[in-house]
Amino acid sequence: MILIVDSGSTKSDWIAVDNNGKQLLEKLRTKGLNPEILKEEKLKKLIKKNPELKAHRKEVTHVFFYGAGCGTDRGKEMVYNVLKEVFVNAIVKVDEDTMAAVYGTINHDAEAAVVCILGTGSNCSYFDGTQLHQRVQSLGYILMDDAAGNYYGKELIREYYFNHMPEDIKVAFGSKFNLEADYIKYNIYKQPNPNAYLANFAEFMFLNKDSEYIVELIKKGIRIFANNMIMQYKEELKTVPVHFAGSIAYFAQDEIKAVAKEMGFTVGNFERRPIEGLVAFHTKNL
């Protein structure tokens, strides 16, 4: 049994397949397994909490794990140790979530492309057809993650509190969420996964895209992300497309295409969840 995992900060998707890519179990989901946010013991508990993973853990021969927070040696090592302890008979490979986005979006194995993730967090890299090149090291959701779910959640709350929202949007936003100051501060400063908490607010944008205010808010974040991340690869952008993975990118396709036209880069594929592409890639390359 081969386990392929695409893990963000909010949730992790697991697929179990055989050597031919035939799915053996229903798709599984656990909470996000980000080693930059959660401690080792918590990671173990979240995996073992899933009854299917616990029941079949000794049958697993390979685990291919792609995760947020696994772009550093420390993060990779922590997740590797956890997976080896849980799946005792498995060969384990851990890589950053950007590689999942690469395999999930490129059109063929050797395609060069700039690949972006816009989900709970955000990232951007250049894949030359063989290797991944990253020119900006992520400093996490507080300092970076432009145009990610947690960025938009923070922006929406700020816009609400600074009275920048149009009145109808402000009323709708206030009726959908608990926006009491103490409640927000408790979830951001006292609870685990504040980035995932903030990202929950982003859905509001996509339910209210008939508002020009909301459309411009989305574009503003994408422009910042493009300036800070995508434009790191100005030379490469002359010849390669920019692919996007993640829920924010998937639902903001129109706004991304509009910003791309403004800034002069070519948009390629959108993939909400890259895991299907990962299955095809790994069963072909076992």
Assess contact for 160 and 198: CB atoms under 8 A: no
Does position 276 have pLDDT exceeding 80, yes or no? no
pLDDT at residue 275 in the model: 80
Mean pLDDT of 98-117: 90
Instruction: Give residue for tokens 């205010």.
Output: 213
Q: Assign 117 to helix, strand or coil.
A: strand
CA distance 222 to 117: 12
CA distance 227 to 222: 8
Does position 86 have pLDDT exceeding 80, yes or no? yes
Mean pLDDT of 92-102: 91
Report CA Rg, the chain.
19
Does position 173 have pLDDT exceeding 80, yes or no? yes
Does position 280 have pLDDT exceeding 80, yes or no? no
Tell me the pLDDT tens digit for each residue of 181-239: 999 999 999 998 899 999 999 999 999 999 999 999 999 999 999 999 999 999 999 99
pLDDT at residue 50 in the model: 93
Tell me the pLDDT tens digit for each residue of 18-68: 888 888 988 899 999 999 888 999 999 999 999 999 999 999 999 999 998
Mean pLDDT score of the chain: 93
Q: If we measure between CA atoms, which residue out of 36, 38, 23, 29 comes closest to residue 5? A: 29
Mean pLDDT of 55-83: 93
Assess contact for 145 and 229: CB atoms under 8 A: no
Does position 283 have pLDDT exceeding 80, yes or no? no
Query: Against a cut of 0.75, is the pTM above it?
Result: yes
The CA-based angle 65-230-128, given to 5 degrees, is 60
Residue 58 token pair: 């000794």
pLDDT at residue 14 in the model: 94
CA distance 13 to 32: 9
pLDDT band at 89 (very low <50, low <70, confident <90, very high): very high
pLDDT band at 268 (very low <50, low <70, confident <90, very high): very high
Kindly give, in sequence order, each residue whose CB lies less than 8 Å from that of residue 259, ignoring residues fewer than 6 positions away: 219, 222, 223, 226
pLDDT band at 11 (very low <50, low <70, confident <90, very high): confident
Residues listed for the chain: 286
Does position 256 have pLDDT exceeding 80, yes or no? yes
* CB-neighbour burial class of residue 131 (10 A; exposed 0-12, middle 13-18, buried 19+): exposed
Fold category of 2-101+274-284 in CATH = Nucleotidyltransferase; domain 5 (3.30.420)
Residue 233 token pair: 């690869």
Domain residue limits, the chain: 2-101+274-284
Mean pLDDT of 177-181: 98
Q: Determine how many CB atoms are found less than 10 A away from the CB of residue 8.
A: 29
pLDDT at residue 286 in the model: 62
pLDDT at residue 137 in the model: 85
Residue 47 token pair: 């995996």
pLDDT at residue 36 in the model: 87
Considering only residues 177 and 22, tell me which one the structure prediction assigns the higher pLDDT.
177
